[in-house]
Amino acid sequence: MPGRRATLAALGGTLLAGRAAAQAFPDRPIRIVAPYAAGGQSDTVIRLLAPKMSEFLGQPLVIENRTGAGGSIGAGVVAQAPPDGYTLLFESFAFLVVPFIVKGLTFSYETAFAPVGQAVALPYVLVVRKDFPASDLAGFVAHARAHPGVSYGTPGIGTPGHLAGALLESRAGIRLEHVPYRGGAESARDLAAGSIDAAIGTANTFGPLVQDGRIRGIALTSAERRGSLSGLPTIAESGFPGFDITSWNGLFAPSGTPAPVLARLEAALAHATGDAETRQRLALTGNEAVTESAAAFAARIRRERPVVRQIVEQTGIRAD
C-alpha cells in the first residue's frame, strides 16, 4: 500500500520537524502582548519578569502594549497569531470577565489560548473614607442597608473590584452605587478627598493611605489574609464564607502551540517568579509571585470562570 506508506511517512516527517522546531525554540525574539497601557499593572509585572525569562530562554522579550476594549484587542492579536510560541499574551483577571461583558468578540477566550502559567496574585481590599460611620464589615453592611446607594469606586467596569462589590451586594442584600474610574489611583484620590464613600482596589494602591490614616481599611476580598494589608480580616471570615475575588496576572500562548514549547515557556516563567530579587521587586508593587504549574493555572481558570459568569449574570454587569 504505497499510498498509505507515503501518507504515514509524510505525517512522521511533519511530527519530527515539529519536534525539532520545538527543541530549537526559541531561535529569535519573543513578542509578549500586554493588552493594557504602559505603566499599568500588567505592563509593570511583565517588565519585571522579562529579564529573568529572557536569561532563561536566551532570547530577548519584546513587550508590546495593544490596548482597548477591556484587553480584547490585544488578546485578539495573540489569538490570531501562529501557535509557535513567538507571540504570547500577558493577561489579568479580566481574561475571565471580558467574554461575558464585551459583545462581538471574534474569538473565544475559552478555546483560543493555552495557559502557560500564573505569574502573580494581587489582593484587593474594601476601604472607606476616614469619617465613614463604620470600622468593620458588619458595620459597613448595616450602614448600607440603612442608607441604600453607598458609593464605591473601582478601577473600572468588569474589574475585580467591580465584581467584588457586585458579589457583596448580592451576598449581603444591599444596594451600592458603583463609580467606575479609569484606574485605581483616581479612585484613591477621590476617596481620600471624601468625594466617594468607599472603594475596592488593590492593596498596593490603598495601603499607603490606610497606613497614613487618610482612609480606613475594612476587609480583604481574597479567601485568606495576604499581601501588604494582611492585618485586615477577609470578607469571607467576616460573615460571608467562600467569598474570594483575587486578581492575578498570567501568561498565555495561542492554542495549538506544541507541548515542548509550552513547557519551555512555563519553565522560563517559573525561573523568573522563583528568583528572589524579582520576587522582592514584585512585592514592592503589591504583587505576590506565584510558582504554580501551568496545569494548576489552567485548573484555576476552569474553577473561576463559572463563578465570574454567575456574578455577571446575577448583577447584569456590562461594558460601556
Superfamily of segment(s) 18-121+246-315: Bordetella uptake gene, domain 1 (3.40.190.150)
pLDDT given for residue 158 in this prediction = 80
The pLDDT confidence band at residue 286, using thresholds 50, 70 and 90, is confident
Mean pLDDT confidence for 119-133: 95
What pLDDT score does 316 carry?
Answer: 75
Instruction: Assess contact for 251 and 119: CB atoms under 8 A.
Output: yes
Reported as a single tens digit per residue, the pLDDT across 16-27 is 555 655 678 999
pLDDT band at 254 (very low <50, low <70, confident <90, very high): very high
Residue 317, pLDDT > 60, answer: yes
Least confident segment among 121-125, 144-148, 254-258: 121-125
Q: What is the mean pLDDT of residues 90-110?
A: 93
Name the grid cell of 286.
503589591
The residue with greater pLDDT, 13 or 64, is 64
pLDDT band at 2 (very low <50, low <70, confident <90, very high): low
Given this model, what pLDDT does residue 47 score?
96
The answer to whether 102 touches 72, Cβ cutoff 8 Å, is yes
pLDDT band at 132 (very low <50, low <70, confident <90, very high): very high
pLDDT higher than threshold 70 for residue 9 = no
Residue spans in the chain of domains classed CATH 3.40.190.150:
18-121+246-315
15: pLDDT strictly greater than 60: no
pLDDT tens digits for range 160-201: 899 999 999 999 999 999 998 877 888 999 999 999 999 999
Rounded CA-CA distance 187/126 in Å is 12
Residue with the larger pLDDT of the pair 152 and 37: 152
- The CA-to-CA distance between both ends of the chain, in Å, stands at 61
| Beta bridge mates, 178 | 152
| Assigned fold of 124-238 | D-Maltodextrin-Binding Protein; domain 2 (3.40.190)
Instruction: Give span(s): CATH 3.40.190.10, the chain.
Output: 124-238
> What pLDDT, on a 0 to 100 scale, did the predictor assign at position 234?
97
Query: 203 falls in which pLDDT band (50, 70, 90)?
Result: confident
Per cent of the chain over pLDDT 70 is 92
pLDDT confidence of residue 202: 86
Order the strands of the 215-220 sheet from edge to edge. Answer: 176-180, 150-154, 198-202, 124-129, 215-220
DSSP 233: P
The residue among 135 and 10 whose pLDDT is bigger is 135
Averaged confidence pLDDT in the chain:
90
Instruction: Report pLDDT for 156.
Output: 80
- pLDDT average, residue stretch 65-87: 94
Q: How far is CA 14 from the centre of its chain?
A: 37
